Amino acid sequence: MCVASFSELVRLCKLVEATSSRSEKVALIAEFLRRLQPAEAAAAARLMVGEVFPEYSDMALNVGWALLSRVVKGLRARQARLLEASPSILEVCSTLEKVAAASSRRRKEALLTGLFSAMGREEVEYLVRMLSREVRIGAAKGVVLEAVASAAGCSLEEVRRAYMFLSDVGDVAERALRGGREAVRSVTLEIFRPVKPMLAEMCYDIREAIREHGGATAFEWKYDGVRVQVHVKGDKVRVFTRRLSDVTAAMPDVVEAVREVLRAESAVLDGEAIGVVGGKPVPFQHLMRRVRRLEVRRLLRKVPLQLKLFDILYLDGRVLVDEPYSRRWELLEHATGGELLAERIVTGDPREAHEFLRRALEAGHEGLMAKNMASSYEPGSRGRKWLKIKPYDTVDCVIVGAEWGHGRREGWLSDYYLAVRDEATGEYLVVGKTFKGLTDEEFEEMTRRLLELKVGEEGRVVWVRPAIVVEVAYNEIQESPRYKSGMALRFARIVRIRWDKGPEEVTTLQELRRRFEEQFKSKARLHPS
Ligand code: AMP
């Protein structure tokens, strides 16, 4: 049996790091994986992308930078000697499992010190990079998956699909090397193993959604909450988030609701849990983004949750992901007796859809989703089969600064600081930044004009006299400590340049605040306490 040492993995990482060619990286990794036992390949694949445990696992090292650097510093004195045997990849992983399981910092530190002392300087350096998720060898997950495909003789598509079901590069690598193409192709949904949820692309127009989905489509209300995937078998219910963490304990109301309505022995349901306070939905995600994970769990327990189901991926032993959406909806209706379902209509009539959108917004929800009736459920993929339609509003802003662009936008001032006018002081205050919305010709013209208006420079930023006005679309106004204005536009993008307008005509800060308050007319406001 081949027992690959950790130092061999480090040698591979250095080779991968040294080449800038993607195909060469793939070839190097594939060749390496091919030589390993499947279990070793799993561990190596994970470490290469900076993961110690599978993504869905609840295990975590809980080792911060401070502890790591203390361990490394403690080694310095001892480390000059040349080591004969470095630990194997699997030994490294089993020690890391012990580190994760250890409850005291001292125990964690002792285990890591033991592990690092058995390694050379370079191995320590790379392991530290892996543990701090900063591997930086230019081989992100896509490259490693491509290497797995090449090592196992299957297509990248097949490996990607398996990854979306398994959510673990390690597991994909292990199955691929153990059972080859057949094993990769046969990967499918398993109960109590969450899959990455299917995602949607943005669409700005109802007509476009109808056209794109072949003349008629299923519109559902788009709720602003937490995506949940509920797995049920008999009495056992598990709730997973979009990032695959198990939040069952934090959502007793969701568990209860599913138990009550489900008329099946086993099922996997997809939906959104929304917070409802005083009959109005709470804008949950904004809150989630701001608070730390633990606080989220506490909050989830505090706010009553309602479940809105919109898909079913498994029912009584049958995997349904390849069934068309329309069939899945029928099965979902059947399995739940029509309870807890997302509001939905099927139509090809834009007026009917607009009316449906109006009702969704009036009820405090985010907008609509349009779902292609014939589409299968594609875990983890963001495509045009599902389209999200959120209403947007526009404001007029004046550009007060711009940053030099990168990549394709190199040489252009292409990232703009957008400001509104404070009526009280006459000051222009920044409320957002965007590089979206202009054509190449416009970028060019803008760069030329902005340079004429330059009043200062700071690193990559050129500050300008407020003169050029742009109409900016946004999806939402948020409070933001980042800007002096205290407000920020979410998903800002330039709709057009208003050469016809002067800076004194831009939207005022007071107007923006009024619109911000307006947002809460149909939404409940939650003060984190
Ligand atoms: P976004 O987070 O803006 O990309 O929008 C996609 C998210 O909308 C999904 O991940 C769900 O959490 C949420 N969502 C709300 N209502 C629905 C619905 N009816 N169908 C699908 N996703 C929905």
- Is 248 inside any structural domain? yes
The pick from 204, 223, 240 for probing ligand 1's pocket by mutation, whose C-beta has the most ligand atoms within 8 angstroms, reads 223
Same domain, 384 and 400: no
Model confidence band, residue 528 (pLDDT cutoffs 50, 70, 90): very low
Look up 222 and say whether it is catalytic.
yes
Model confidence band, residue 247 (pLDDT cutoffs 50, 70, 90): confident
Model pLDDT, residue 138: 87
Same domain, 334 and 423: no
- Mean pLDDT, rounded, for 56-68: 87
Atom of ligand 1 nearest to the CA of 197: 10
**CATH label of the domain that carries residue 498:** 2.40.50.140
- pLDDT (tens digit, 9 = 90+) per residue, 157-203? 999 999 999 999 999 999 999 999 999 999 999 999 999 999 999 88
Same domain, 167 and 212: no
- pLDDT (tens digit, 9 = 90+) per residue, 339-359? 999 999 999 999 999 999 999
More confident residue, 418 or 406: 418
- Is 190 inside any structural domain? no
Model pLDDT, residue 529: 32
- Mean pLDDT, rounded, for 305-333: 97
Model pLDDT, residue 287: 60
- Mean pLDDT, rounded, for 214-225: 95
Compute, in angstroms, the gap from residue 197 CA to the centroid of ligand 1: 10
Atom of ligand 1 nearest to the CA of 285: 2
Strand partners, 269: 230, 312
C-beta neighbour count of 68 within 10 angstroms? 20
- Mean pLDDT, rounded, for 63-90: 78
What percent of the chain shows pLDDT beyond 90? 71
Which of 141, 163, 185 delimits the end of a domain?
Answer: 185
**CATH label of the domain that carries residue 49:** 1.10.3260.10
- pLDDT (tens digit, 9 = 90+) per residue, 265-305? 999 999 999 988 888 888 765 566 545 555 666 777 778 89
Model confidence band, residue 77 (pLDDT cutoffs 50, 70, 90): low
Same domain, 92 and 168: yes
If phi > 0 it is left, if psi is from -120 to 50 it is alpha, else beta; for residue 506 that is: beta
Token pair, residue 73, equals 């510093």
Q: Based on the structure, what is the number of domains in the chain?
A: 3
Same domain, 296 and 404: no
- Mean pLDDT, rounded, for 207-231: 95
Q: Which of 222, 308, 371, 390 is catalytic?
A: 222
Compute, in angstroms, the gap from residue 503 CA to the centroid of ligand 1: 37
Model pLDDT, residue 79: 55
Same domain, 381 and 403: no
Instruction: Return the closest-CA partner of residue 250 out of 308, 304, 195.
Output: 304
If phi > 0 it is left, if psi is from -120 to 50 it is alpha, else beta; for residue 97 that is: alpha
- pLDDT (tens digit, 9 = 90+) per residue, 115-142? 999 999 999 999 999 998 888 898 889 9
Domain membership of residue 455 as a residue range: 394-521
CB 264 within 8 A of CB 493: no
Ligand 1 pocket list (CB less than 6 A): 197, 199-200, 220, 222-223, 227, 242, 272, 310, 342, 369, 388
More confident residue, 437 or 462: 462
Sign, CA dihedral 299-300-301-303, equals: positive
